[in-house]
Amino acid sequence: MAILVTGGAGFIGSHTCVELLNAGYEIIVVDNLINSKPEVIQKIKQITQRDFKFYQADLLNRSELEAIFESNTIDAVIHFAGLKAVGESVEIPLRYYHNNVSGTIILCETMAHYNVKRMVFSSSATIYGDPQSVPIKEDFPLSTTNPYGSTKLMIENILQDLYLSDKEWSISLLRYFNPIGAHKSGLIGEDPKGIPNNLMPYIVRVASGKLETLSIFGNDYPTIDGTGVRDYIHVVDLSLGHLDALKKIMLTKGINSYNLGTGKGYSVLEVIRAFEISTGQKVNSKITHRRPGDIAECYADPSKAKIELGWTASRDLYEMCLDAWKFAKQQ
Ligand code: NAD
Ligand code: UD1
């Protein structure tokens, strides 16, 4: 049984490949390396001491994708491949819609052609927009504020329609909250190109002296200390959620969405403090204005994933900070 992992060289994909290999699955990875490095493939093999096929290919290239399905027996697809930078998606929306939405359509058409109808899809908590209350449940209203988020919501809708048209499909829509941390080995982790947009990658660059000061985007939100609250989840816990979702789609048909979060929110100041305590590193920071489009609070009610997938996150914020730092030190 082989699992095709699209975007398997990326941050979440690489960690999921490790967990799949550790659990004994055979995997095949396809990634065009637009936002990842070829060394990651070697690192996955080094961590797991397992071999697998890697194709440097673009989902938009139908013939390349078909060749992969033609020459392998694929049982299910875990679909991570996509562009994910919110700001960039506002600047070049067509590229985002084409890459994420068209890429997924080509993937689904190819899967249907080869009678592979099981998929785990990387969705995002961003499709809850500015939620009316927290914790967020899967049946909350959905809305988006930027092209990146819209691609995720469109893909969820496309997959819903696909299932309605053909009940042989089995699809899991995993709505991630804020993945951070890295593998314990320090060999794989999050290494964004250029200046990071997200909190933890920025913190580690300030701690390592590569950037001077972290800007805290606003301290006047209606939260515990005025700074934004998010549900940070260790990337290994998130990856393990994919294995549980995979088990479910192998056994049942249908389409279901699941929040993958810890259910606990932390403010920006709490994250900085946890990082400083766990790593012993100082993080220079200053309060600046709010980032446009940011919301005050966002955290999951993950009980559906617990009940239906048997999944819960177990790694705490200190472990997330320590593992992110261990990886960052090796870059
Ligand atoms: P990432 O950029 O590290 O990984 C995505 C991978 O997909 C990259 O290796 C990239 O090279 C590849 N890729 C992109 N377009 C491709 C294409 N057309 N063909 C082949 N490969 C392609 O991102 P990540 O953080 O690992 O995120 C994985 C998925 O999870 C994405 O779909 C992302 O939108 C989603 N997601 C991420 C977060 C987060 O905070 N990291 C949160 C919610 C959802
Ligand atoms: C980001 C994405 C969102 C995605 C989510 C999960 C943006 C605008 N949104 O949201 O689409 O679904 O990640 O990966 O990129 N912060 C600072 N200073 C910084 C960076 C962040 O104070 O330099 C604050 C933010 O205001 C926020 C918190 O830290 O309160 C987390 O920010 P970030 O890591 O960017 O994640 P999200 O805003 O949740």
Give the distance (Å) from ligand 1 centre to CA of residue 7.
6
197 lines ligand 2 (CB under 6 A): yes
Based on the structure, what is the number of domains in the chain?
Answer: 1
pTM exceeding the 0.75 threshold for the entire prediction? yes
Residue 288 in any domain: the answer is no
Query: What is the predicted pLDDT for the residue at 193?
Result: 85
Query: What is the predicted pLDDT for the residue at 264?
Result: 98
Mutate to test the pocket of ligand 1, among 80, 190, 298 (most ligand atoms within 8 A of CB): 80
Neighbours of 19 (CB within 10 A): 18
Q: What is the residue range of 133's domain?
A: 2-180+231-261
Q: Which atom of ligand 1 is nearest to the CA of 36?
A: 9
Three-class SS state of 80: coil
Residue 104 in any domain: the answer is yes
CB 60 within 8 A of CB 106: yes
Give the distance (Å) from ligand 2 centre to CA of residue 139.
23
Report the pocket of ligand 1 as residue ranges, CB < 6 Å. Answer: 7, 9-13, 31-36, 58-60, 80-84, 99, 103, 122, 124, 176, 179
Residue 17 in any domain: the answer is yes
Residue 237 in any domain: the answer is yes
Distances (CA, A) of 231 to 75, 102, 136, 300: 32, 30, 11, 7
Cα gap 25→225, rounded to integer Å: 45
pLDDT along the chain (331 residues), means of 10: 96 98 98 97 98 98 98 98 96 98 99 98 98 97 97 98 98 98 98 92 97 98 98 99 98 98 98 98 98 96 98 98 97 89
Query: What is the predicted pLDDT for the residue at 298?
Result: 98
Residue 107 in any domain: the answer is yes
CB 1 within 8 A of CB 75: yes
Residue 161 in any domain: the answer is yes
DSSP per-residue codes, 245-259: HHHHHHH--EEEEEE
71: CATH: 3.40.50.720
Residue 290 in any domain: the answer is no
Dihedral over Cα of 260, 262, 265, 270: its sign: negative
Whether residue 135 is preceded by a cis peptide bond, meaning omega within 30 degrees of 0, is yes
Residue 109 in any domain: the answer is yes
Q: Which residues pair with 31 in a beta bridge?
A: 56
Mutate to test the pocket of ligand 2, among 294, 298, 320, 321 (most ligand atoms within 8 A of CB): 294
Cα gap 299→266, rounded to integer Å: 9
